[in-house]
Structure 1
Amino acid sequence: MPRALLLENIHPLATDILTEAGYDVENRRGALDEEELIEALDGVSLLGIRSKTQVSSEVLARSELDAVGAFCIGTNQIDLAAAAERGVAAFNAPFSNTRSVVELVLAEIIALSRRLTVQNSSLHKGVWNKSADGAHEVRGRTLGIVGYGNIGTQLSVVAEALGMSVIFYDTAEKLALGNAKRVGSLDDLLGQADVVTLHVDGRPGNAGMFGAAQFAAMRPGALFLNLSRGFLVDYDALRERILDRSLSGAAVDVFPTEPKSKGDSFDSALRGLDNVILTPHVGGSTEEAQHDIGIFVANKLRDYQATGATNLSVNLPGLVLEAPRPGAHRVTLLHRNVPGVMAQLNEDLSRSGANVEYQVLGTRGQFGYAVTDVGGGLSADLLSELEALPTTIRARVIEIG
């Protein structure tokens, strides 16, 4: 029975889906470090993680994985290039927790604008401090969104419904939704926004993108939020701006170093500051989001193994495949994207006596991925012949029941 390992408290529905597909599924609540993970992956073909477990090139080299599922949005915890080089497909959940993150952002903007954290703290200390000082409506204020992807665009629409004006900055060309306006640079956004919120991806080039210079460029009294990636921001610089009252508040959900498991100790330069909301990387942690993510990613892993489908893979050419004909053989070939591969594949198929009934090819940079359905018998040597080609990264023959 093939094995799957699910880490970091992934929703039970993922276990149900993979178990029904014939996998022996092991669940562990916390993350694993590199050596622990390598040991745990002995005999495992499918791995499911969230944001804490690092799937390094060493882990990939010392395991026999077929696919990795990130049960979250981000995939910077996976060495995607090394995974592709070893023919390991990687999938994530780019849409399933978008609404959960957007709602938390809006809740925090309102809480910070009304200084609810300060008022709440005073009452818990037994001090009645009713005052309108520093409290503002969000209606009419300008929200600056850095990164206009799935989360940024939905946040844009919902914030406008609250009466906010929205501006955004993105290095890629993006269509503005509603009345949102694109600005030409990050500095332009910082100089106009009453609230700045980060929603960029985890590519290495974004590391340290927001530091002392960016905080200095923000409007006096503005709010800052980061529910994106912890390594984007210099939190010591943010602390100074909160303490000198240059910024009136902040909300942070992600940190450069985070505990591996629930209940572990946590420390940050931002602890204990007035009007600063700290949350333990829970932007997408609603029951609804985790339910949807569990289904989405588990189905991607199952379908890749069962049919070779790579639609929405984050590291391999993405193919939406026709349903295979019962009784057919499906041959999948991940290869170097160079001339002559398809001709060689079809020559080998012909020599094996296969009748090609369906074939599709996708490319992504240096990689090509071909899927071929054949009728009739296949020679026992076909898979070995394909694996021996110098352009082959991984070949499979899937028997369709």
Structure 2
Amino acid sequence: MIKVLANDGIDKSAEEALKAAGCEVDTNHYDGAELIAKLKEVNAVVIRSATKLTAEIFEGINGGNLKLAIRAGVGIDNIDIPAGEKAGVTVTNTPSASSDSVAELALGHMFSVARHIGITNVTMREGKWEKKNYKGVELDGKTLGLIGFGRIARSLAKKAEALGMKVIYTDLLGKVAGYDQFKHCAKDDVLKDADFVSLHIPFDKQAGATIGSKEFAQMKDGVYLINCARGGVVDEAALITALDNGKVAAAGIDVFEKEPTDNTVLINHPKVSVTPHIGASTGEAQKRIGAEVVDLITNFSF
């Protein structure tokens, strides 16, 4: 019997499908030494954002039964892949299941910052009627610049195009075939020409933040920044400075350098729309992710 640990939970339909396939499924959450001990017992582990599978954890379970580690989502930056491979563990993810959900949240943040939806929710609940203070901008006719052009960015590009936005993008792999309606540009040109900049890239610990003081200086005055990708790709201190001096008109942020975040200055900033890393948190996405997890486990050679 294949033993599966879903350490950050899993959609009920996926849990039932795994059990129907003859798997034993544990949906409890474990940390530290308890997690290491549990991982030695199971054949597969499924995690989301809360669990970090570090080199120390993989070293601790080396020689155990674990053969497969699945990140139920797009990014795999919370799994030390080389350490996993060294321990004989295959590391994989569910890259396509949550694309539309994350793209819709990014679009939601774009509307929120363009029309002051987040801050006016706050001020009205404080008994204030500050209609004259919140003149917004329309998305129609604006240029959306995408840093990274993977599945999520492509989904967002199509939605933005339907709203009348011009979409430009940059990607390490160059121009992406089949998307000729969107203009591929150098990163510097995307930063320079975009009215809205949305990030769709992983965090590289060695390289550090992709967007910092230098990049903000390249952007238009009054640019809008959206980050539903990964914490760390934006230098939070540099972002706060750019918000304070008006370089950035507003920002929509779903991911943070530290999670749960303790950056109270950022999350309480009147020009920021914030959510607690909920890009993939829709019922539809979790069902798709769960189905992909089931396929990965049931088709794996343990």
Q: What TM-score comes out, normalization by structure 2 length?
A: 0.92
Aligned to 1:8: 8
2:6–2:45 Cα contact (<8 Å) kept: yes
Contact 1:236/1:269 (<8 A) preserved:
no
SS of 1:75 mapped into structure 2: coil
Whether contact under 8 Å (1:68, 1:301) holds in the other structure is: no
Shift of 1:42: 3.4
**Higher relative contact order, chain-length normalized (CA < 8 Å, sep 6+):** 2
The answer for the alignment partner of 1:58 in structure 2 is 56
Q: Residue type matched to 2:184 in 1?
A: R
Q: Assess if the C-alpha contact under 8 Å between 1:144 and 1:190 holds in 2.
A: yes
Deviations 1:2-24 (A, max 9, x none): 42211112212222122122222
Q: What CA deviation, in whole Å up to 9, does each residue of 1:80-137 have, x standing for no partner?
A: 1222233322221101110001111111111211122233223222222223854111
Correspondence for 1:238: 239
Indicate the SS of the match to 1:42. Answer: helix
Deviates more, 1:209-218 or 1:119-128: 119-128
Partner residue of 2:36?
38
Residues 57 and 120 (structure 1), Cα distance of their counterparts in 2 relative to 1, 3 Å cut: closer
2:19 matched residue in structure 1: 19
1:295 equivalent in structure 2:
291
Secondary structure at the counterpart of residue 270 of structure 1: helix
Return 5+ residue gaps in structure 1 as ranges: 260-264, 309-395, 397-401
Q: Of Structure 1 and Structure 2, which has the larger fraction of its residues in strand?
A: 1
Shift in alpha-carbon separation, 1:25–1:10, aligned structure 2, 3 A: same
How many Å separate the matches in 2 of 1:55 and 1:48? 11
Letter in 1 for 2:7: L
Identify the residue that residue 191 of structure 2 maps to in structure 1.
190
Fraction of identical pairs, as percent:
33
The one-character-per-residue Cα deviations of 1:25-46 (angstroms, maximum 9, x if unpaired) are: 1112x5x444332022231111
- CA distance in structure 1 between the aligned counterparts of 2:248 and 2:273, rounded to whole angstroms: 13
Q: How far apart are residue 79 of structure 1 and its match?
A: 1.6
Give matches, 1:65-144, under 5 Å.
Answer: 65-131=66-132, 134-144=135-145
Q: Does 1:283 align with 2:279?
A: yes
> Structure 2: which amino acid aligns with 1:228?
A
Question: What amino acid is aligned across from residue 247 of structure 2 in structure 1?
Answer: S
Equivalent residue letter for 1:52: A
Report SS of the residue matched to 1:210.
coil
Q: Which runs of 4+ in 1 moved over 4 A?
A: none
- Closer, same or farther: CA 145–206 of 1 in aligned 2, 3 Å: farther
Which residue of 1 is the match for residue 226 of structure 2? 225
Shift of 1:75: 0.8
Question: 2:183 is matched with which residue?
Answer: 181
CA RMSD in angstroms, aligned pairs only: 1.9
The one-letter code of the counterpart of 2:40 is D
Post-superposition Cα deviations, 1:311-347, rounded to whole Å, max 9, x if no partner, equal xxxxxxxxxxxxxxxxxxxxxxxxxxxxxxxxxxxxx
Distance 1:9 1:267, change over 3 A: farther
Structure 1 contact 17–299 (Cα < 8 Å) conserved: no
Q: What amino acid does structure 1 have at the position aligned with 2:3?
A: R
Structure-2 change in CA distance of 1:162 and 1:205 (3 Å) = farther
**Is the 1:225–1:252 Cα contact (8 Å) retained in structure 2?**
yes
Partner Cα separation in structure 2 for residue 15 and residue 212 of structure 1: 45
| SS of corresponding position for 1:208 | coil
Does the CA contact (< 8 Å) of 2:202 and 2:233 recur in 1?
no
Distance in 2, Cα, partners of 1:133 & 1:71: 39
Distance 1:269 1:302 in 2: 46
1:96 partner letter: A
Instruction: Tell me which moved more, 290-299 or 76-85.
Output: 76-85
Aligned length: 298
Measure the CA separation in 1 of the matches of 2:262 and 2:12: 27
Between structure 1 and structure 2, the one with the greater Rg is 1
Q: Which residue of 2 aligns with 1:170?
A: 171
Aligned partners of 1:33 and 1:54 also within 8 Å? no
Does residue 1:49 correspond to 2:50, yes or no? no
Out of 39-48 and 221-230, give the one that drifted further: 39-48
